Amino acid sequence: MSSFDPIKQDRFTFGLWTVGNPGRDPFGEAVRPVLDPNHIVRKLAECGASGVNLHDNDLVPFGSSAGEQDRIVSEFKKTLADTGMTVPMATTNLFTHPVFKDGAFTSNDPKVRAFALQKTMRAMDLGAELGAKLYVFWGGREGTEADACRDPRSALQRMRDAMDFLCEYSKDNDYGMRFALEAKPNEPRSEIYLPTTGHMLHFISTLKNEEMVGVNPEVAHEVMAGLSFAHNVAQAMACDKLFHIDLNGQKMGRYDQDLRFGSEDLKGAFLLVRLLEGTLGGKRYDGPLHFDAHAYRSEDEAGVWDFAKGCMRTYKILHEKALAFDSDPDVVAIIAEQNDAAIDPLLTGGYSKETASSLLGMDIDVDAIAARGLRYERLDQLLVEHLLGVRG
Ligand code: GCO
Ligand code: MN
Ligand code: MN
């Protein structure tokens, strides 16, 4: 059996805000002290992560002077160099300050929209200085409670204007960044614009620099919407738009839980890792594997590192399970059983008059096909037995 201890080559990353989460929730105070970003980087490196991601204000507190920012950033860069850690992704906090109570890029107040652009440009400068080539946009408070306050089409147009502007800002400064848009269906607003990855994918197709922009799907967000995370990720992969991913765990129908990866819905997590790693075939995802989750509120700092190691170990264990599953001859046989090499090219080769007449002339025994069992009960049980460790 391989070692499941994470190493840098595994491309695992955490946000400063994830392992740094002090456990505050709407009903209770923090249960852990706030950790220094430099300490977080050193501990993550020890745990086997390769990188750390951040919002501007995770590192530089809101309202810091230029001098304070320089001191903080230069110490942080030294810690990154000492530990060999990278910053693959950066993002902007457009949700904590009360100025964003009615959204940032979609706010009705042009001064708020201007401030959101100003803050994002500055945060992109910071991200570029730290080497980030991916820039995430999570809408945060881009939504409503009193939906009568604006035409939702204005919100979408404002969001489009902001993305078009910021793409040009990256190009103008030679930052070489790609943008990853993150959808979330609810929390913290009552209604949120562009609530799922599918919505984001279409929105991207309306942008001026479409090729620069992809998605950052998150397990919890699609599960909260009652959707299959793997299917959403697959659609993004199929159109080369999976630029980044937020891994965590979530129970359906609950508040935003941000649980340790794989701690809920093990089968869903397995199918996701199988897809990302391409063990069934197809292109693999080779970007950062980012955990956007936090330790239970019951934990002290030691529990935070147990949590971080747990996320990474579970991913690696599931990868090994997926390899074993897809090379299990019984699994391969069930999946291959319905292949028909003679008919397939007619369905994948596009339209021609000849193909149309071949299809029209085919004698298809629908009753025989309808009567045939597909052995998916057996296939799913094989999956369960691989997961339970009695096979493979
Ligand atoms: C959430 C979101 C955030 C974003 C982060 C990066 O539910 O709060 O997932 O954690 O991922 O702000 O943009
Ligand atoms: Mn989230
Ligand atoms: Mn997220």
DSSP for 34-94, written as a single string:
PPPHHHHHHHHHHHT--EEEEEHHHHS-TT--HHHHHHHHHHHHHHHHHHT-B--EEE---
The rounded mean pLDDT for the chain is 97
Task: Look at 235 and 253; give whichever has higher pLDDT.
Answer: 235
Tell me the residue range of the domain where 336 lies. Answer: 329-388
Q: Is 58 a catalytic residue?
A: yes
**pLDDT on residue 8:** 97
Query: Please, which residues have CB less than 5 A from ligand 3, an ion?
Result: 218, 246, 292
**pLDDT on residue 392:** 78
Asked whether residue 15 is domain-assigned, the answer is yes
323 CA to centre of ligand 1 in angstroms = 31
The pLDDT of residue 2 is above 80? no
Asked whether residue 341 is domain-assigned, the answer is yes
Last residue of a domain, one of 286, 315, 344: 315
Could you report the per-residue pLDDT of 29-74, keeping only the tens digit for each? 999 999 999 999 999 999 999 999 999 999 999 999 999 999 999 9
Residue 53: closest CA among 246, 297, 187, 315: 246
Together in a domain, 310 and 351 = no
Last residue of a domain, one of 262, 285, 315: 315
Number of domains in the chain: 2
Give nearest CA residue, ligand 1 atom 4.
Answer: 138
Asked whether residue 16 is domain-assigned, the answer is yes
Flag whether the pTM goes above 0.85: yes
Together in a domain, 235 and 357 = no
Q: Quick one: which H or E segment has residue 15? A: strand 12-15
Together in a domain, 342 and 304 = no
Asked whether residue 210 is domain-assigned, the answer is yes
| Contact predicate 212/179, CB 8 Å | yes
**pLDDT on residue 184:** 98
Asked whether residue 287 is domain-assigned, the answer is yes
Choosing from 10, 36, 56, 58, which is the catalytic residue? 58
Task: Look at 104 and 2; give whichever has higher pLDDT.
Answer: 104
Ligand closest in space to the Cα of 250: 2
Q: How confident is the model over 78-83, as a mean pLDDT?
A: 98
385 CA to centre of ligand 1 in angstroms = 34
Query: What angle do the packed helices 110-129 and 152-172 form, to 10 degrees?
Result: 30
**pLDDT on residue 373:** 97
The domain that holds 115 is classified in CATH as 3.20.20.150
Asked whether residue 324 is domain-assigned, the answer is no
Together in a domain, 70 and 215 = yes
Could you report the per-residue pLDDT of 184-193, keeping only the tens digit for each? 999 999 999 9
